[in-house]
């Protein structure tokens, strides 16, 4: 079994409220991450939050595992009145998406918004990417996205016009082949949902947040990206979270089937 619940110690006794819809946010493993920023913004806007994490992925990354991250994130969400559920899930496992939805529904109720921030991201290019790494990138970034969207569509039972699907993407490809290629597949899967799930009253959009430093950038990369951005700074998790918050709102319901650039005007040919 690659899905299990974390003990929710952040809000003992807290129960979901019918007045608060439920957002399922994937890839919320670290307090400084984009996923955590989105979860905080949605909680402040009146959503309950189920979120997934997979610490073994962080163990493989340079930044490592952040002890107590799930509890810290849960406490912040609870401060905004949200009922929460932290769910460990290895999204490389094709059975994990169904288990995630089962757990979220059992603990908090039906999911109204699916926000996908999870990823597999290991730098490698055309000549040095291994078959194992290529397959893992597509399993997590593309196949899991399809399976999560499929579960959402099969189970969605909220009022027509309230459903939301949002995925985070990237246009990085050079020296990052399996990540960029699998994110391209993620785009197509998510945008297909804008049409195929339209009878349910569900919108689906993709956001490219551009370079956001959540601990992975070197100083050279940081300076390189700042030079190519007209606004002269890097993006933040909050920048992405504000756009997700709008898309999940009633006012954002007319935005559908779009790949939205939220990158401060970054021009790759200028960096």
Q: What is the pLDDT of residues 103-115, one digit of tens each?
A: 999 999 999 999 9
Between the ranges 175-184, 219-228, 258-267, where is the mean pLDDT highest?
175-184
Q: What is the CA radius of gyration of the chain?
A: 18
Task: Tokens for 244, please give them.
Answer: 């997700």
Percent composition of the chain: helix, strand, coil (DSSP 3-state, to 5)? 45, 15, 40
Q: Catalytic annotation on 179?
A: yes
How many helices and strands in the chain, by DSSP H and E?
Answer: 9, 8
Mean pLDDT within 182-210: 97
Catalytic option among 47, 51, 156, 179: 179
CA distances from 97 to 16, 157, 216, 267 (A): 21, 18, 27, 35
Task: Judge contact between 255 and 205, C-beta under 8 A.
Answer: yes
What's the pLDDT band for 223 if we cut at 50, 70, 90?
confident
CB atoms within 10 A of CB 9: 11
What's the pLDDT band for 80 if we cut at 50, 70, 90?
very high
CB atoms within 10 A of CB 267: 10
Q: Of the ranges 145-149, 164-168, 213-217, 258-262, which one carries the lowest mean pLDDT score? A: 213-217
Instruction: List the alpha helices (DSSP H) in the chain.
Output: 34-44, 55-60, 69-79, 96-108, 131-137, 144-155, 177-196, 219-227, 237-248
What's the pLDDT band for 8 if we cut at 50, 70, 90?
very low
Q: Please measure the distance between the N-terminal and C-terminal CA atoms of the chain and give it in whole angstroms.
A: 44
The structure's pTM equals 0.90
Helix (H, G, I), strand (E, B), or coil: what is residue 264? coil
What's the CA gap between 10 and 82, in Å, rounded?
11
């Amino acid at each position: 079994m690659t899905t299990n619940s974390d003990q929710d110690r952040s809000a003992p006794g807290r129960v979901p409220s019918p007045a608060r819809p439920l957002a399922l946010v994937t890839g919320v493993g670290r307090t400084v991450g984009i996923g955590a920023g989105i979860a905080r913004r949605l909680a402040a806007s009146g959503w309950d939050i189920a979120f997934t994490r997979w610490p073994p992925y962080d163990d493989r990354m340079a930044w490592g595992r952040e002890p107590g991250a799930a509890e810290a994130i849960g406490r912040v969400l609870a401060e905004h009145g949200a009922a929460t559920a932290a769910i460990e899930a290895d999204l490389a496992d094709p059975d994990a998406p169904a288990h995630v939805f089962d757990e979220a529904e059992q603990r908090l109720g039906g999911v109204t918004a699916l926000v996908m921030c999870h990823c597999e991201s290991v730098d490698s290019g055309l000549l040095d990417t291994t078959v194992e790494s290529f397959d893992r990138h597509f399993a997590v970034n593309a196949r899991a996205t399809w399976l999560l969207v499929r579960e959402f569509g099969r189970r969605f039972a909220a009022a027509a016009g309230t459903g939301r699907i949002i995925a985070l993407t990237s246009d990085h490809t050079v020296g990052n082949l399996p990540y960029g290629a699998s994110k391209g597949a993620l785009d197509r899967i998510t945008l297909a949902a804008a049409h195929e799930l339209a009878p349910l009253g569900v919108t689906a959009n993709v956001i490219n947040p551009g370079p956001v430093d959540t601990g992975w950038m070197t100083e050279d990369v940081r300076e390189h990206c700042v030079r190519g951005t007209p606004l002269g700074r890097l993006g933040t998790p909050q920048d992405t979270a504000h756009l997700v918050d709008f898309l999940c709102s009633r006012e954002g319901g007319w935005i559908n089937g779009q790949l939205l650039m939220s990158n401060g005007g970054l021009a790759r040919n200028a960096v």
